[in-house]
């Protein structure tokens, strides 16, 4: 039989006592593990490792699973960096909030029965739609789809639970978006009426992120490119090859897309004007 701490490490570092008892951990064994400090009781019937994410513990104390950005980030879904925010908790359709000191938790009631730990990716996306900007939800949705973290069944569930106003984003989403930055750029340019061809293979150049008007290449570089000289050299070689074929290339990084969008739009519209001449 596995010790309680070993069982907890196989979950999200937290579980209900009844779940642990199914693996042979009696109440006495759990009580002894709490006494010796290998696990802790976070509220009646819920146990966690000493190293469990404090926000997961707070969500469990509140009465459910950690959801929204935190849950998505834990599954490696792309979300924007943000300052520490309130703990978002899914308590299921008919769950009960538990009052606790200094509670600033945001409670989500939606279909299903919550447990403890991190909410599933599909559940966290549904809740994120209510809490983050539309473009960030869209980028997270494409990230989860591209990483195969949501199934066709999950996508149907998300569509069923989101309002009509969100349906166009789900239809517009693609499974081949390589990064959240690509998703943000495509989403924003779509709202400006600029059509992009995505993930285009150009002989002699390779696959590029976007092509506009058959001649303008848009590339979006993640943060890691600034720290990788070899990757930067490869990009310059590709840009030279595409220029020889008559393409113009614009390349944007994380800071430009996320923090300096007002510099990105004029650059793109001016380039579209040039290729149209």
Q: Around 233, how many Cα atoms within 13 Å sit in the side-chain half-sphere?
A: 3
Residues in contact with 250: Cβ distance below 8 Å, sequence separation at least 6, in sequence order? 216, 217, 218, 219, 267, 268, 271
Reading phi first (left if > 0) and then psi (alpha if -120 to 50, else beta), residue 14 is in: beta
Q: Give residue 234's pLDDT band: very low, low, confident or very high (50, 70, 90).
A: confident
pLDDT at site 277: 56
- Alpha carbon dihedral 141, 147, 151, 156, in 10-degree steps, equals 10
Closest by CA position to 211, among listed 232, 181, 186: 186
CA distances from 198 to 129, 143, 195, 275 (A): 24, 15, 10, 18
Q: 3-class SS at 91?
A: coil
**Rg for the chain, CA atoms, rounded:** 23
Is the Cβ–Cβ distance between 131 and 166 less than 8 Å?
Answer: no
Residues counted in the chain: 277
Residue pLDDT, tens place only, 31-67: 999 999 999 999 999 999 999 999 999 999 999 999 9
d(CA 158, CA 154): 6
What the block records as the tokens of 149 is: 């973290």
- pTM for this structure? 0.90
Q: Which fold has domain 181-276?
A: Endonuclease; Chain A (3.40.960)
Domain residue extents for the chain: 4-128, 181-276
pLDDT at site 221: 83
pLDDT at site 9: 93
Task: Work out the average pLDDT over 224-253.
Answer: 81
Is the Cβ–Cβ distance between 89 and 66 less than 8 Å?
Answer: yes
What the block records as the tokens of 64 is: 């459910």
Q: Is a pLDDT exceeding 60 seen at residue 89?
A: yes
């Amino acid at each position: 039989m596995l010790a309680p701490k070993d069982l907890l490490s196989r979950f999200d570092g937290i579980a209900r006592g009844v779940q642990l008892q199914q693996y042979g951990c009696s109440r006495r064994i759990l009580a002894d593990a709490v006494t010796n400090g290998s696990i802790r009781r976070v509220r009646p019937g819920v146990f966690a490792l000493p190293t469990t994410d404090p926000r997961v513990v707070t969500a469990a104390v509140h009465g459910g699973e950690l959801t929204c950005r935190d849950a998505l980030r834990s599954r490696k879904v792309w979300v924007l960096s943000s300052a520490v925010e309130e703990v978002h908790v899914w308590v299921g359709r008919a769950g009960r909030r538990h009052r606790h000191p200094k509670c600033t938790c945001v409670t989500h009631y939606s279909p299903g029965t919550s447990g403890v730990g991190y909410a599933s990716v599909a559940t966290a996306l549904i809740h994120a739609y209510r809490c983050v900007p539309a473009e960030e939800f869209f980028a997270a949705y494409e990230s989860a789809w591209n990483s195969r973290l949501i199934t066709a069944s999950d996508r149907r569930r998300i569509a069923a639970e989101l309002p009509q106003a969100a349906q166009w984003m789900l239809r517009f989403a693609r499974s081949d978006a390589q990064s959240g930055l690509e998703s943000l750029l495509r989403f924003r340019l779509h709202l400006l009426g600029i059509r992009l061809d995505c993930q285009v293979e150009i002989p002699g150049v390779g696959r590029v992120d976007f092509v506009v008007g058959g001649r303008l290449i848009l590339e979006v570089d993640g943060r890691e490119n600034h720290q990788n000289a070899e990757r930067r050299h490869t990009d310059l070689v590709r840009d030279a090859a595409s220029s020889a074929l008559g393409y113009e290339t614009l390349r944007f990084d994380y800071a430009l897309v996320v923090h300096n969008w007002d510099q990105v739009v004029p650059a793109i519209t001016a380039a579209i004007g040039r290729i149209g001449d």
